[in-house]
Amino acid sequence: MTLTRAATLSNNNNKKKTSTLLPPQPLEQPCQLPQQQSTQPQQGTSSASGGGSCQQDEGTHTQTSSQRKNTRGRTVGAGTCDVVKKRKSLIPIRMDPSQKLVATIEAQKLFVSEIGLITRNKAPLNVLGMKKVSLEMKKDMALGLQFMFDVDLTDPDIWKFINDHMHSTYKEWKAKLHRHYKQYASDPALARETPPPEKIFGTRRTLEEWHYLVDTLYTNEQYQKRCKTNAENRKKKEFDHTGGSRPFLKHMEAAREKDENPTYICNWNNMHMLKGKSIWINEAAEIKGKKMNEEYEKAKQQVAESSGTPLDQVTLPIPQQLEIMTVELGVAKGKRIRGLGSSLRVESLHSGGFASSCATEQKVEELQSTVGELKGTVSELQGTVGKLLDVIEWMRTHDGPLPSHLVAPSQHVGDSPCHDDQGNSGGSRNVYEDLDDIGNNH
């Protein structure tokens, strides 16, 4: 590795050092996207285009395009720009309160991608973590989202979503930079002059920022201790998933759009099998998945026997499904059920098990029905109280029996039929009758 590449990158980045996100262009014009570098690599440098990577061998490049790995290129926001041009309007961002995610699958994907792009382009590198970045700077970064999206940055739920994804993107990005550094960690001078390729480092970062990481951050004792702790924690991870960046709940939503209706457990199983194959990703995931299936079938059997419903028509309520998953998968920091994303959390533990924050539609309908009944009861009681007040006021100023318009029917809200000494149902005694007696004796 020569110093030519470092010098070239430094010159290129110095030209872009003051770059900021471009304002939105008129919709009839093509979006201004970062220009790709020439695919012809310079001697002593490696190709930094997003389409693939070349291995360097003493300054020569013999790898052909057919030999390159088919890897994901650098994200430049082209897909989002194409959608905006096609719509001829900004992409609306609305939150689904039950999921705590963006309301549609496509908008969620584009929004998260743009948050990641802005974070990698504008977040400062000279801090230990995104928590050290000021709120003012985060909000300034988030303004770039309004170039492509119709988004209310003052909405608390939307801002929490943006902030959380800024943090996760920054953490993952800094981890990639650190992995690149560790390849050269034994030779600090070489590491200093060997910045990551543009595919990782981006086109808006400077060589000085890389020097800060090498000279200051990566030698910081607190940072090294955190890296060691994180490495130990990663060893405890039993398995990954095949769901990609799409959230757990959005996979379920996509399945429903295909007229499928997977249970939460079935969805988890699908995300821990090789795509297009009924093969578990490893033995640990297989054990967890099969155990949850067994518990689900047992619970279904109990419901079928107690209710007399055919087994194939029984579906467990969502809280009961999540309870089974919680027992098998455990609870992570922030009361998250492991492996289900940040939207599904355990709220409390009670005699019936875990209550999930995800309310079922059936429960909502029951609550709405109960509220309607209570409103009717309250309305009737308000009428009764009003008549009683009229009776009391009349008694204060008059003698004799109550006038007919103040005498109410014998059955009132909350009354139940009563029986006389012979067991005959004669209706409940009207409270107005007592008041009438009092008026007669007055």
Nearest-angstrom CA–CA distance, 70 and 61: 18
Token code pair at residue 232: 């130990």
**Both 161 and 260 in a single domain?**
no
**Both 89 and 167 in a single domain?**
yes
**Both 256 and 220 in a single domain?**
no
**Both 255 and 329 in a single domain?**
yes
pLDDT tens digit sequence for 221-231: 888 888 889 88
pLDDT tens digit sequence for 370-400: 877 888 888 888 888 888 888 888 788 887 7
pLDDT of 54: 35
Q: Is residue 378 part of a domain?
A: no
Last residue of a domain, one of 235, 263, 287: 235
DSSP state for residue 67 in the 8-state scheme: G
Percent of the chain with pLDDT over 70: 68
**Both 348 and 413 in a single domain?**
no
CB atoms within 10 A of CB 145: 22
Q: Is residue 145 part of a domain?
A: yes
pLDDT band of 79, cuts 50, 70, 90? confident
CB atoms within 10 A of CB 42: 14
CA angle 432, 434, 435 (to 5 degrees): 65
Q: pLDDT at residue 234 above 70?
A: yes
Q: pLDDT at residue 31 above 50?
A: no
Percent of the chain with pLDDT over 90: 30
Q: Which domain holds residue 118?
A: 4-235
Average pLDDT for 339-351: 61
**Both 81 and 161 in a single domain?**
yes
pLDDT of 213: 92
pLDDT band of 6, cuts 50, 70, 90? very low
**Both 52 and 194 in a single domain?**
yes
Q: Is residue 379 part of a domain?
A: no
DSSP helix/strand/coil, 321: helix
Q: pLDDT at residue 32 above 50?
A: no
pLDDT tens digit sequence for 152-208: 999 999 999 999 999 999 999 999 999 999 999 899 899 999 999 988 998 889 999
Contact 163, 133 (CB under 8 A): no
Q: pLDDT at residue 286 above 70?
A: yes
pLDDT band of 141, cuts 50, 70, 90? very high
Last residue of a domain, one of 359, 394, 416: 359
- Which of 442 and 408 is assigned the larger pLDDT? 408
Nearest-angstrom CA–CA distance, 68 and 80: 27
**Both 30 and 91 in a single domain?**
yes
Token code pair at residue 242: 């095949």
Least trusted range by pLDDT, from 75-89, 260-274, 291-305, 410-424: 410-424
- Which of 352 and 402 is assigned the larger pLDDT? 402
Q: pLDDT at residue 259 above 60?
A: yes
Total structural domains within the chain: 3
Least trusted range by pLDDT, from 73-82, 191-200, 294-303: 73-82
CB atoms within 10 A of CB 177: 20
Nearest-angstrom CA–CA distance, 274 and 356: 29
Q: pLDDT at residue 56 above 90?
A: no
Q: Is residue 294 part of a domain?
A: yes
pLDDT band of 366, cuts 50, 70, 90? low
Last residue of a domain, one of 304, 324, 359: 359
Per DSSP, the residues of 212-274 read HIIIIITT-HHHHHHHHHHHHHHHT-----S-TTS-HHHHHHHHHHTT----HHHHHHHTTB-
Least trusted range by pLDDT, from 5-14, 69-78, 83-92: 5-14
**Both 152 and 262 in a single domain?**
no
Q: Is residue 202 part of a domain?
A: yes
Least trusted range by pLDDT, from 59-63, 160-164, 190-194, 293-297: 59-63
Average pLDDT for 4-29: 41
Nearest-angstrom CA–CA distance, 144 and 167: 16
Token code pair at residue 61: 């490049």
Residues 6+ apart with CB under 8 A from 69: 52, 53
Mean of the per-residue pLDDT values for the chain? Answer: 75
Least trusted range by pLDDT, from 92-96, 335-339, 369-373, 436-440: 436-440
pLDDT band of 334, cuts 50, 70, 90? low
User: Is the dihedral angle over the CA atoms 92, 342, 98, 257 positive or is it negative?
Assistant: positive
Q: Is 372 exposed, middle or buried (0-12, 13-18, 19+ CB in 10 A)?
A: exposed
Q: Is residue 118 part of a domain?
A: yes
**Both 104 and 127 in a single domain?**
yes
Q: Is residue 372 part of a domain?
A: no
Q: Is 239 exposed, middle or buried (0-12, 13-18, 19+ CB in 10 A)?
A: middle
Q: Is residue 242 part of a domain?
A: no
- Which of 28 and 396 is assigned the larger pLDDT? 396
**Both 261 and 410 in a single domain?**
no
pLDDT band of 140, cuts 50, 70, 90? very high
- Which of 333 and 30 is assigned the larger pLDDT? 333
Nearest-angstrom CA–CA distance, 113 and 86: 18
Least trusted range by pLDDT, from 38-52, 305-319, 398-412: 38-52
**Both 400 and 253 in a single domain?**
no
pLDDT of 22: 37
- C-alpha distance from residue 213 to each of 171, 216, 358, 368, 392 (Å): 14, 6, 42, 56, 83
Q: How far apart are the first and last CA of the chain?
A: 111
DSSP state for residue 276 in the 8-state scheme: T
